Amino acid sequence: MTRVNLAGAAAIALAALTVAACGKAAPGTTSQSSAAPSASSALSPTTPAPSGEAGKITWATYRDVGTIDPIQAFDYPENTVITTLCDSLARQAPDGSIGPGLATLTHPDDKTLVITLKDGPTFWDGKPVTADDVLFSLKRAADPKGGGFYPAVFTRVASMTKTSDKVVTVKLKQPDFWLDGELSQMPGVVLEKAYGESKGRKLGTPQGGLMCSGPFKVGSWKTGSTLNAVRNDDYWDAANKAKVAEIDFRGVPDDSSLTSGFLTGGIDGSYPQGLSTIDQLRAAKDKVTVSNGPSFASDAIVISSLKGALGDVRVRQALSLAIDRKAYIQNVYHGDAQLPRTLANPGTWGYGKDVFQADWNKQPEPTQNLAKAKQLMKQANAAGKTITLGMTSEVQQLATAANAIRSAGDAIGLKVKFKAVSAQNFINFFTDPKAREGVDGFPTVNYPDYADPAAFYNTIVMPDGSQNYDAFDDAQITKAMNDARSTGDPAQRAKFVAQAGDRIMQQLPWIPMAAINTVLITSSKLTGAPASFTFMGGPWANLLGATGNGS
Amino acid sequence: MGAFVARRTAMLVAALLVSSFVIFGSLDLAPGDPLSALTGGRTLPPEAVAQLRAQYHLDDPFLVRYVDWLGNAVLHADLGTSIAFRGSVVSVIAARAGVTLSLVAYAGLLIIVFGVGLGVLSGLRRGALDTGIVASTSVLAAVPSFVAAIVLLSIFSVNLGWFPALGAGQGFADRIWHLTLPAIALALSAMAIVVRVTRVAVRTEMGREHVQTAVSRGIPYPLMIRRHVLRNAAIPVTTVVGITITSLIALSAVVERAFSLDGLGAALVQAALSKDFAVVQGISLVFVTAFVFANVLVDVLYAFLDPRVAMGSRAT
């Protein structure tokens, strides 16, 4: 399960103009002039622990929250809010590792997953979380007619049954060790059965609300406007009780508005994506703290057609070698990204870290090598050929990526044509085969839902992958991925995934551009939120609190 | 008067009908599928897709959907369901209309008070003040509202901290405080134009024969200004003020975005991006209605200002 970054596509031309006019920050005052760092371990997934409680804060998302129904959530605003309100069966830690959440997951054999609820979890209304609630929530998520986006997660599930008040047993058709990861985020969120049944289709809307067990509960919320969450004072997990009294989740689509919000104290925190005014905020050290952490997200070029020049793996390799990624990273991410040695971001190493690190160290740094690229072009006899890139000039990151590919192409004699669309139509490249007609590739920022490179590769390289647009099928990759899915031991599983990852870098079903970092901005009075991508799948807001030197 | 109201109402209904059809049709022709925007491009099982398509009536033929929509709108005041907000369009509009209304009203007030006020002042008093006003308005008239928004934000909000940078506030005083910068940003260029038009209108009237006659007959200056200059100058000024204020309705989207106000304009932009057709349709119709009403108001004012304009007359 991976998703497209909609935040980028949602930016409009106007916003770009606005930001350009606002760029009054002294250039280069704080941004590092050196190229992106290549060490992956330098990034901390956490921020200093808070020393006290805080009152009401305002948290910005790139647009207002549409729904708080977990099975309909996949984009930044919804996930950010639902991870605040709800608990999943398994829990993602800031470093991406997955541990027990509401329940402990065990595998007595390869084809059985036993979900055992902890003692003590209660919903906001005080009722205990039971196996009936778990079963209701899982079945709802798995039901193709349930209106949710996650049925595919359950394709290997044969049956789910309640085996005691605290236990749900899942029988699998084939071994599936990816299911544990999925149950650490939206499909694993447990809702109260009685409440859910009484609300029906209205569940998760402003009218229907929600009944979860998380550290915050819904305060007030009107359709299409700010959602107010208040601390759940009776949170079952006392050690993880929230230290912030109230959070207003406000949609702030405009970069300059977000920036002035931070500078005036109107906004207290956000996990922004590709914020163009980041240097200005970084310079305002007395007002805001900007933190960088590991992310699940990869910036890459989707190869959507293997029928044209890019059908030849040598041309893909040549193009990849010709890209000046250092300049691109500096330009778009102001240094907040790493050179991608694998397609998956190092932030996705939620298990088998040593294995993945060793693999990363072994991989060459993807620096520009025009001599080798030209040689490959010659071998492929592809000089003078043309490829077409889908792009939009209305979203800066996407336009810059397309231009980076064009200059790479120019340098090796590959002509790169653009098929430019409006920002709001960019998503059609992902969803509409007609939009992809005659297009060889297009830029994207894409991420899995939990820390596992396999969760990302899965959608791209597997023959039935949702983002495998032109039947890319490599026997070695497919086998390594299938082996990983049915391997229980994390280190061994990591080996298979790393193997697939190595082959992916060689075959390049997508061309990686950057392993981007998570950016967290908070008012200097707040600290404690993870600086990593967990805000999309695991608890984060309950970790926030006041800094020692706060008011 | 009755005939006037009847004709105007008929025109409003016709305008709404035509524009609703045009908007509905153009959204239908626009590329992209609301479902794919909703699901972020993930592949869903066919049953799930069918379920969602049925829920939002995406597979019915165009005319069926239009007639359905129109029927619901007229009979039940139901403008459909927002895909992105998972709620009724009416509730989205209701939650946001207040902000846009107060913003446009505030900006309109600024235009009338300062635009007309400074224009009259500038028209009556030749000299340094007049030159200053003319010079500054020529600059301000060329400033688009998003630029004004950024400048105002960085000066009065970020640097001086006098006004909040975002949000619309709660309660009357807080709302005024929150909306002051957005209203100025929205009104600024229109205000400059109104100043200039008013100034020219006043000057023109001052030079007219009947005004000169009044002066020579020794009619007291204030009375002469009120009765002969301002009254006549009010006709072109009303036209311009009317047009500029109605145009604010559409421009509000830009300012609402810049100041992160939860208004209709911001929702319209967001809805268009997420292909939330029902919301685009609903808000567009609200805008069209507001536009028509504002025009009616201007026409009525004409009739009061200028007895030569009969309320029933066809010429507009």
Question: Span B77-81, mean pLDDT?
Answer: 80
Residue B52: list chain A partners with CB under 8 A.
147
H-helix segments, A413-489: 428-431, 433-436, 453-461, 475-485
Query: pLDDT band for position A342 (50/70/90)?
Result: very high
Of A72, A260, A423, Cβ closest to residue B153: A260
Of B40, B96, B259, Cβ closest to residue A6: B40
A497-546 pLDDT, tens digit each: 999 999 999 999 999 999 999 999 999 999 999 999 999 999 999 999 99
Q: What one-character DSSP code corresponds to residue A238?
A: G
Q: Which of A427, A429, A436, A467 to mutate to test the interface with B (most CBs of B within 10 A)?
A: A427
User: How much is the ipTM here?
Assistant: 0.73
**Measured between CB atoms, does B268 come within 8 Å of chain A?**
no
At residue A288, the 3 state secondary structure works out as strand
Which one, of A444, A435, A431, lies nearest residue A405 by Cα? A444
**Measured between CB atoms, does A439 come within 8 Å of chain B?**
no
Query: pLDDT band for position A19 (50/70/90)?
Result: very low
Given a cut of 60, is residue A17 above it in pLDDT? Answer: no
Q: Give A134's contacts (C-beta < 8 A, 6+ positions apart).
A: A89, A102, A103, A115, A117, A162, A168, A190
Query: pLDDT band for position B40 (50/70/90)?
Result: low
Given a cut of 70, is residue A28 above it in pLDDT? Answer: no
Q: Tokens representing A544?
A: 């926030």
Given a cut of 80, is residue A109 above it in pLDDT? Answer: yes
A485 to chain B nearest CA, in Å?
20
For all residues of chain A together, what is the average pLDDT?
Answer: 88
CB contact under 8 A, B260 and A206: no
Q: Are B196 and B189 in contact (CB under 8 A)?
A: no
Question: Span A323-343, mean pLDDT?
Answer: 91
Query: What is the model's pTM?
Result: 0.82
Strand partners, A28: none
Residue A33, pLDDT score:
33
Residue B39, pLDDT score:
66
A117-129 pLDDT, tens digit each: 999 999 999 999 9
Question: Span B8-28, mean pLDDT?
Answer: 81
At residue B158, the 3 state secondary structure works out as helix
Side chain identity at residue B166, one-letter code: L
A394-449 pLDDT, tens digit each: 777 888 999 999 999 999 999 999 998 877 678 778 877 888 889 999 999 989 98
